[in-house]
């Protein structure tokens, strides 16, 4: 099975290289390109990549800093951080604040106070809290942006239930970014509307999953997706 997955990843990388999607030379984009090409991801914990500044529980952090369940992680302006906590991995954009909660030693909820974060999770019940929205998932990839006016949510693959004040539970199922949405309060009711794809890539998802020894389903399904849109 490992050889089959490696072959699928090689084919995906070849498509990305041919499209120019993995040609970035600097920052986290360049690091992702090199790490994917070299296959040297996996087995790392804590902050595995940091461009700029970050704090853990208010204390300055650096690459290699440990991050435990229940701790608060924040990135500075013009900064990005990649971190691994157990079998879950996160790419935090600038000015992002997250805090985890554990149940019996396993991640049970993720609070995104502000900012933008791409996450991949192992199979377990988990709630993402973003403003007044609660997103229940069980092993998936998801991208969330929390702004003062709304919450942007893309279920990259998997299944989720979106809940909020005055709104009927909304079941979302995707295989490859099919239903990004905006969650916005209208009076006392949370409303969901369709939104376009934005601000995260398949390469980032593959990198995050590789850090915890997994492959996203779109790598293994053999389909060709438009690299210019999701690269």
The 10s digit of each residue's pLDDT in 12-40 is 555 555 444 554 445 666 777 677 666 66
186 strand-pairing partners: 189
Look at residue 23 in the predicted model and tell me its pLDDT. 46
Q: With respect to residue 81, please indicate whether it lies within any of the assigned structural domains.
A: yes
C-alpha–C-alpha distance, residues 203 and 159, integer Å: 21
CATH number of the domain within which 194 lies: 2.60.120.1440
Q: With respect to residue 6, please indicate whether it lies within any of the assigned structural domains.
A: no
Contact criterion met (CB below 8 Å) for 66 and 44: no
Tokens (6 digits) for 54:
């970050």
pTM listed for this prediction: 0.88
Q: With respect to residue 90, please indicate whether it lies within any of the assigned structural domains.
A: yes
44 strand-pairing partners: none
Look at residue 25 in the predicted model and tell me its pLDDT. 47
Our count of domains for the chain comes to: 1
Look at residue 37 in the predicted model and tell me its pLDDT. 66
C-alpha–C-alpha distance, residues 45 and 82, integer Å: 10
The answer on pLDDT for 228 being more than 90 is no
Q: With respect to residue 168, please indicate whether it lies within any of the assigned structural domains.
A: yes
Q: With respect to residue 172, please indicate whether it lies within any of the assigned structural domains.
A: yes
Q: With respect to residue 77, please indicate whether it lies within any of the assigned structural domains.
A: yes
Percent of the chain with pLDDT over 90: 66
Q: Which residue has the higher pLDDT, 150 or 224?
A: 150
Indicate the pairing of strand 106-120 with strand 125-130: parallel
What Cα–Cα distance (Å) separates residue 217 from each residue in 25, 143, 176? 27, 16, 9
Percent of the chain with pLDDT over 70: 81
Given the structure tokens 């990549």, which residue do they identify? 49
pLDDT digits (tens, 9 = 90+) for 88-125: 999 999 999 999 999 999 999 999 999 999 999 999 99
Q: With respect to residue 29, please indicate whether it lies within any of the assigned structural domains.
A: no
Q: Which residue has the higher pLDDT, 54 or 203?
A: 54
Domain region containing 98: 45-200
Q: With respect to residue 105, please indicate whether it lies within any of the assigned structural domains.
A: yes
Of 170-179, 202-211, 217-226, the least confident: 217-226
Q: How many residues does the chain have?
A: 231
State the average pLDDT for the chain.
87
Q: How many of the other CB atoms lie within 10 Å of CB of 92?
A: 25
């Amino acid at each position: 099975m490992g050889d089959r997955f490696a072959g699928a990843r090689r084919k995906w990388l070849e498509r990305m290289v041919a499209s120019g999607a993995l040609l970035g030379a600097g920052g986290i984009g360049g690091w992702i390109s090199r790490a994917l090409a070299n296959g040297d991801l996996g087995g790392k914990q804590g902050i595995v990549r940091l461009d700029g500044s970050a704090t853990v529980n208010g204390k300055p952090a650096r690459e290699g800093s440990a991050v435990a369940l229940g701790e608060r992680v924040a990135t500075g302006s013009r900064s990005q951080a990649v971190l691994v906590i157990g079998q879950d991995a996160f790419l935090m954009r600038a000015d992002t604040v997250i805090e985890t909660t554990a149940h019996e030693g396993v991640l049970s909820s993720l609070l995104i106070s502000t900012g933008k974060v791409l996450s991949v999770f192992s199979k377990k019940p988990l709630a993402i809290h973003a403003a007044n929205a609660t997103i229940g998932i069980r092993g998936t990839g998801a991208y969330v942006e929390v702004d003062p006016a709304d919450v942007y949510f893309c279920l990259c693959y998997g299944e989720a239930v979106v809940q909020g004040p005055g709104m009927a539970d909304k079941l979302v199922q995707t295989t490859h970014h099919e239903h990004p949405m905006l969650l916005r309060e209208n009076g006392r009711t949370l409303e969901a509307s369709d939104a376009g794809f934005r601000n995260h890539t398949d390469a980032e998802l593959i990198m995050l999953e590789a850090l915890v020894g997994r492959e996203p389903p779109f790598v293994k399904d053999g389909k060709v997706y438009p690299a210019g849109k999701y690269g």
